[in-house]
Amino acid sequence: MKYKEQIPNLFTSINLVMGIMAIIFMFSDRYLEASLLILVAVFLDRMDGNIARKLDVVSDFGKELDSLCDLISFGVAPSLLIWNIFLENSGLLGIVITLLFALAGAFRLARYNITEFDGFYTGIPITICGGLVALISLVLINHKANINLIMLFMLFLSYAMISKRIRLKKR
């Protein structure tokens, strides 16, 4: 492989590092930092695709690597963040909602990887959903939040990722 081809993969890999670091920070109850790391990963995810297109090095390998990293940074990390901050005491329902978000993200990414692109996203991209979860966590981290609204928000985002009715034009 040429070095130029690896530049977008470097951004993708740093995206993954941000997602893993967010999870590590959650073990120490450092939710502010975890939220911020997920948001940094959003920026890196946006950059990797742009760089790959600008350098004309778009590849199947890069697409697969991006999806694997996105599942951690925007599926697993945000769902664990919400679990730790808001849903830990919600019993089985909180567990199910936490799992559904990550599963919906995995299904959305798998579908994206096997679908011919027509200029539109089917379902809301996992990056947007994970970023919204991090942003909501960041805003509500030190406030008394309505757990029912948080659960509905997570259910809506889970549905939005896998919905075939939602189509967004890619910019």
Q: What is the DSSP letter of 168?
A: E
Cβ count near 61 (within 10 Å) = 11
Average pLDDT over residues 8-23: 97
pLDDT at residue 168 in the model: 86
Q: Share the mean pLDDT of the chain.
A: 94
Average pLDDT over residues 108-125: 89
Domain that holds residue 73: 3-169
CA-nearest of 96, 112, 99 to 162 is 112
Integer Rg of the chain from CA: 16
Kindly indicate the confidence band of residue 1, based on its pLDDT and cuts at 50, 70 and 90.
Answer: low
Kindly indicate the confidence band of residue 19, based on its pLDDT and cuts at 50, 70 and 90.
Answer: very high
Q: What is the pLDDT of residues 48-60, one digit of tens each?
A: 989 999 999 999 9
CA-nearest of 103, 77, 89, 76 to 150 is 89
Q: How many residues does the chain have?
A: 171
Region of residue 167 (left: phi > 0; alpha: psi -120 to 50; beta: else)? beta
> What CATH number does residue 94 fall under?
1.20.120.1760
Q: Which helix (H) or strand (E) holds 28?
A: none
Kindly indicate the confidence band of residue 139, based on its pLDDT and cuts at 50, 70 and 90.
Answer: very high
Between strands 120-122 and 167-169, the pairing is antiparallel
Q: What is the pLDDT of residues 80-97, one digit of tens each?
A: 999 999 999 999 999 999
Q: Phi, psi at residue 142, to the nearest 5°?
A: -110, 20
Q: How many domains does the chain have?
A: 1
Q: What predicted TM-score, i.e. pTM, was given to this entire model? A: 0.94
